[in-house]
């Protein structure tokens, strides 16, 4: 029993050291970007037209915009308060 307890405490210490060295974010650090102050200015938020300018539009139930330059796909969500997926 003594050897097993020692092995468990060694394992726990190695896990803690690895997490510290890797830099695993704490819950507070992970949530920090969510708590960043938001600008009240509507002019700082781009319109859909200006944001998607030059992108390929894929019409459908939810319009999609393909940004070939950045390799991203954007969704235009215009049906608020409506369940889409069940």
The band of 49, judged by pLDDT with boundaries at 50, 70 and 90, is very high
The HSE-up count of residue 15 (CA atoms within 13 Å, CB side) is 6
Q: Is residue 26 located within the same domain as residue 50?
A: no
Total of domains in the chain:
2
The band of 84, judged by pLDDT with boundaries at 50, 70 and 90, is confident
Q: Is the pLDDT of residue 76 over 80?
A: yes
Q: Is residue 53 located within the same domain as residue 31?
A: no
55 domain-assigned: yes
Q: Is residue 24 located within the same domain as residue 45?
A: no
Query: 């050291």: which residue's tokens?
Result: 17
Q: Distances from the Cα of 27 to the Cαs of 11, 33, 36, 54, in angstroms?
A: 23, 11, 15, 38
Q: Which domain holds residue 65?
A: 39-79
Token digits of residue 79: 């049906």
Q: Is residue 59 located within the same domain as residue 73?
A: yes
Mean pLDDT of the chain: 75
Higher local confidence (pLDDT), 38 or 71: 71
Q: Is the pLDDT of residue 81 over 70?
A: yes
Q: Is residue 47 located within the same domain as residue 75?
A: yes
Mean pLDDT of 63-69: 96
């Amino acid at each position: 029993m003594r050897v097993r307890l020692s092995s468990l405490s060694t394992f726990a210490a190695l896990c803690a050291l690895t997490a510290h060295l890797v830099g695993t974010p704490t819950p507070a650090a992970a949530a920090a970007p969510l708590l960043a102050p938001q600008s009240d200015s509507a002019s700082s938020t781009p319109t859909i037209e200006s944001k998607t300018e030059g992108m390929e539009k894929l019409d459908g139930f939810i319009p999609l915009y393909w940004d070939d330059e950045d390799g991203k796909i954007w969704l235009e969500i215009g049906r608020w308060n409506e369940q889409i997926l069940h």
